[in-house]
Chain A
Amino acid sequence: MTPLDATDRALLRLLTQDAAQPASTLGRRLELSQPATWRRIRRLQEAGILAGRRLVLDAEKLGFGVTVFLGVKLAAKGAARLEDFERAVTAIPEVQMVEHVLGLYDYRLRVVARDLADFERVLRRRIMTLPGVGNVEANVLLSEERRPGPL
């Protein structure tokens, strides 16, 4: 793909703020015609840069008041153990994100719960019972900002 120009970058910035706005609105803001806007969006999709959309919900209004980031160390290693752990951890509905990492921990998890008591239940019944799980460190999320990144 040809390198991104300033208009592509502006388009990506607008779409990360609101992915549901019509091409006509985007085009007006970027001073492009609607078909030209469409062509750029399609090109960014085909290059895999626009990787989809995410629905943004107000977790608190839906009763999810607590988000916790967990660092998980496996007690025993080996390819089979990793696969077992990954299969089991991704099946937990409260686990929103799983990353395999290199460093002090083996996995980084993002867990959502209704409150701290609900989080304790998830931790004891679901996380601590995962195959191969060893040391776990929990940090309760207080605030979060997403930045536009190097666009």
Chain B
Amino acid sequence: MLDDTDRRLLRLMQAEPSLGGPELAHRCGLTPGRTARRLERLRAEGIVKGQEAVIDWRALGYAVTVSLRITLDKTAPRAFDEFMAAAREVPEVIEIQTFLGRVDVRLHIIARDLAHYQDIYRARVLTLPHLADIEALLTLSSIKADEALPL
């Protein structure tokens, strides 16, 4: 399905998403026309879904990042759905993941400072439905965050 040139194109775009068409073509050793056609095909097949802007929340004044690892009370039949719906209503929740493992759900929360975090935790997190257990990991630093696929 994908050939080496496709992979090279995707690797380059992953590493430098702002590269323009001519520069991409040059680095892949293709003509701009062929590059555009390959990109068009990768988009049409749904492999390339698009580009999203990365927001630096620290620059917006959100200095605290906490990863909350949550276990739910699964005796309630709609525990997952009701918990997720309520978590979506908390603006400071920027990611929600569900898992197979010891942890059921992870909430990625940002706050302006620790006092703000405490407010969110007490008023918005501890009031979420079907909570059984919560563990918090406070982010000290981000070492790698490109989320690139090893193509």
Contacts and interface: CB of A to CB of B under 8 A. Distances in A.
B54 A52 contact: yes
Interface in B47-92: 47-57, 59-60, 62, 67, 88, 91-92
B101 A139 contact: yes
B48 A140 contact: no
Contact of B55 (A49, A64, A104): A49
Contacts of A47: 59
A103 B138 contact: yes
Interface string B114-151: 00000000000000000000011111111111111111
B96 A54 contact: no
Interface in B8-38: 10, 13-14, 17-18
Contact of A97 (B46, B56, B110, B147): B147
**Size bracket, chain B contacts:** 35 or more
B53 A101 contact: no
A149 B51 contact: no
Contacts of A51: 54-56, 59
Contacts of A105: 137
Nearest to B59: A48
Contact of A56 (B51, B57, B138, B140): B51
B50 A56 contact: yes
A101 B142 CA distance: 9
Interface stretch (A11-19, A30-38, A127-135): A11-19
A145 B103 contact: no
Interface string A68-94: 010100000000000000100110011
A150 B110 contact: yes
Given A98-B144, A139-B102, A19 B53 contact: yes
Given A19-B53, A144-B97, A57 B48 contact: yes
B145 to A, nearest CB: 5
- Determine which residue in B48, B99, B106 has the highest number of CB atoms from chain A within 10 A of its CB, and name it: B99
Given A54-B53, A57-B14, A100-B141, 17 more contacts: A4-B60, A15-B53, A17-B52, A49-B59, A50-B54, A50-B56, A51-B59, A53-B17, A54-B146, A58-B46, A59-B149, A96-B149, A102-B137, A104-B135, A141-B99, A145-B88, A145-B95
24 contacts: A16-B55, A19-B51, A20-B51, A51-B59, A52-B53, A53-B17, A56-B52, A62-B151, A69-B106, A89-B144, A90-B143, A96-B146, A97-B145, A97-B146, A99-B67, A102-B138, A104-B137, A105-B137, A139-B103, A142-B99, A144-B95, A147-B93, A147-B95, A150-B110
